[in-house]
């Protein structure tokens, strides 16, 4: 496994290989969810590239950027075991040699849920992902469905830029108690970690109760159930169209539906979603 730090090194190495390239962009602090993306890429592509880069432009909260966990040595050990060919670990200056002033317009996709509660976040995602895709030029790029709205935004980014690659969405990986794997989970204290599985458990129960109440009542019920758990505080609960991410007013509305949650456990923000 090669560990490279510059775009020129990555391009020079990939230009030697006449093979399909699978790419997994990450911010490090890797867990089994990330590794499942790497394994999917390994199964489908000849060369697997993983980037580790904590992107400052997608953090609307500077303290969140400072607190974001960084474990580069452990990350590289996991990636080597998973069969990664190239790890790209650039500096901020390598990704942004000059300030990135680009403004992306993702329309209605970015005006709900995460976009509403984290202003500027998805523009930062667009900046870093477009830059990484420019450097790696993969045939396929792999993203987890825990960040379901981000996945939709990235698909729209690729469409707008007419990039010749496939975006592959991969299922959420969970701990045995149902908590969606996240790099932020390591910041949970023992009480918060014990409480956090209530998020997924309540979403599953919501799917079972959907026929008993209307959409607004279900959203309110989920929020009340989660807020009744010590250590947890709901930021939002949203039932949305799985394709457009727009709010669903009625179960009779056409299209598949998902329920999305953002919940605070102390100062740790957790997100999750499931299909209904």
* Cβ atoms of residues 24 and 38 within 8 Å: yes
109, 110, 239, 275 from 215: Cα distances, Å: 20, 21, 7, 14
* Cβ atoms of residues 240 and 248 within 8 Å: yes
* Cβ atoms of residues 124 and 59 within 8 Å: yes
Active-site pick, 31, 34, 117, 121: 34
What are 268's strand-pairing partners? 265
34: annotated active-site residue: yes
Helices then strands, counting H and E runs in the chain, come out as 11, 9
Encoded tokens for 208: 């079972």
The sign of the torsion formed by the CA atoms of 28, 33, 37, 38 equals positive
Catalytic center residues = 34
């Amino acid at each position: 496994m090669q560990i490279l730090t510059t775009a020129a090194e990555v391009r020079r190495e990939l230009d030697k290989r006449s093979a399909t390239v699978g790419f997994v962009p990450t911010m490090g602090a890797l867990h089994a969810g990330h590794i499942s993306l790497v394994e999917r890429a390994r199964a489908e592509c000849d060369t697997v590239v993983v980037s580790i880069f904590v992107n400052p432009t997608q953090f609307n909260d500077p303290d969140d950027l400072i607190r974001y966990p960084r474990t580069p040595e452990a990350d590289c050990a996991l990636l080597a075991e998973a069969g990664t060919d190239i790890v790209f670990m650039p500096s901020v200056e390598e990704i942004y040699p000059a300030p990135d002033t680009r403004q992306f317009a993702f329309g209605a996709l970015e005006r709900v849920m995460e976009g509403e509660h984290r202003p500027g976040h998805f523009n930062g995602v667009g900046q870093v992902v477009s830059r990484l895709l420019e450097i790696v030029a993969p045939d396929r790029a792999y993203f987890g469905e825990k960040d379901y709205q981000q996945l939709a935004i990235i698909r729209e980014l690729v469409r707008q830029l007419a990039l010749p690659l496939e975006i592959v969405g991969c299922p959420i990986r969970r701990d045995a108690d149902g908590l969606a794997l996240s790099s932020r989970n390591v910041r949970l204290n023992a009480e918060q970690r014990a409480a956090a599985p209530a998020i997924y458990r309540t979403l599953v129960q919501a799917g079972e109760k959907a026929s008993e109440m209307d959409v607004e009542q279900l959203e309110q019920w989920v929020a009340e159930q989660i807020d009744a758990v010590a250590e947890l505080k709901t930021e939002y609960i949203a039932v949305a169209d799985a394709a457009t991410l727009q709010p669903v007013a009625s179960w009779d509305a056409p299209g598949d539906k998902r329920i999305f949650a953002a919940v605070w456990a102390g100062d740790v923000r957790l997100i999750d979603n499931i299909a209904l």
